[in-house]
């Protein structure tokens, strides 16, 4: 399956970060760091949810509404602000961990809670769009989707094992802030490893 990270590489571009920063009313550097940290967390959560038959079937069904078309208007999606759909996606992906993840991302990037919530809700439909597009290109059923996401996680772990360990702990965290300082730094390292240093 096409790497979801590579499909979302444009989100790390200067124009994308600037557009998202203006929409959120946040500093560009802090916004870029938050994107770098948020993408591995969202994809890690997808991989976890799809690791069971029930989870992969639910995700496959949800992708029926996410065909990748949103990526064709990336700047519009980034500049349009968070959507109710994005907030609902986060609820399904992160569940009871949502508050802890948002807290840690805020602490690691310097964004306030409201900005982190909006950023995640803006990114979530884009991540599902990339996944839905890849699913259609590969003709994956629910089981194949689960396997592909597992391979994506292994690819990430191989490229940057320290980063993956940190993001796994973030998804398990209780919001006590103990790993917050590592999150944004390792997000940038992880994406740099996956893109071969291209930003």
User: Residue 197 — very low, low, confident or very high, per pLDDT cuts 50/70/90?
Assistant: very low
pLDDT tens by residue, 163-186:
667 667 777 665 555 555 566 666
pTM attached to this predicted model: 0.82
Supply the pLDDT for residue 25. Answer: 93
Separation of alpha carbons 186 and 164, rounded Å: 9
Query: What would the pLDDT profile of 54-94 be if each residue is shown by its tens digit?
Result: 999 999 998 888 878 888 888 999 998 777 788 999 988 88
Plot region of 13 (φ>0 → left; ψ -120 to 50 → alpha; else → beta): beta
8 Å CB contact between 111 and 55:
no
Contacts of 142 (CB under 8 A, 6+ apart): 53, 56, 57, 59, 60
Is the pLDDT assigned to residue 22 strictly greater than 90? yes
What are the residue ranges spanned by the domains of the chain? 4-194
Surface-to-core class of residue 165, CB atoms within 10 Å of its CB (0-12 exposed, 13-18 middle, 19+ buried): middle
Give the whole-angstrom CA distance, residue 132 versus residue 184: 26
pLDDT for position 13:
85
Whole-Å CA distances, 50 to 28, 79, 97, 108, 152: 33, 30, 16, 27, 12
19-37 average pLDDT score = 91
Per-residue model confidence (pLDDT) at position 67: 79
Please compute, for residue 69, the number of CA atoms within 13 A of its CA located in the half-sphere on the CB side. Answer: 5
| Cα(66)–Cα(63) distance, integer angstroms | 5
């Amino acid at each position: 399956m096409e790497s979801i990270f590579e499909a979302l590489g444009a989100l790390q571009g200067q124009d994308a970060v600037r557009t998202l920063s203006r929409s959120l009313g946040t500093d560009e550097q802090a916004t870029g760091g938050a994107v770098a940290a948020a993408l591995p967390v969202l994809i890690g959560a997808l991989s976890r949810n799809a690791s069971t038959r029930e989870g992969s079937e639910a995700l496959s069904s949800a992708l029926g509404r996410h065909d990748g078309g949103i990526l064709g208007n990336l700047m519009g999606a980034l500049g349009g602000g968070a959507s109710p759909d994005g907030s609902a996606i986060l609820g399904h992906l992160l569940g009871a961990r949502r508050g802890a993840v948002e807290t840690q991302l805020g602490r690691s990037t310097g964004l306030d809670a409201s900005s982190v919530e909006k950023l995640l809700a803006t990114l979530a439909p884009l991540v599902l769009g990339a996944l839905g597009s890849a699913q259609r290109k590969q003709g994956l059923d629910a089981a194949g989707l689960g396997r592909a996401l597992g391979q994506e996680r292994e690819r990430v772990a191989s490229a940057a094992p320290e980063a993956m360990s940190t993001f796994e702990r973030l998804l398990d965290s209780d919001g006590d802030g103990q790993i917050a300082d590592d999150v944004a730094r390792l997000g940038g390292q992880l994406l740099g490893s996956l893109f071969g240093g291209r930003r």
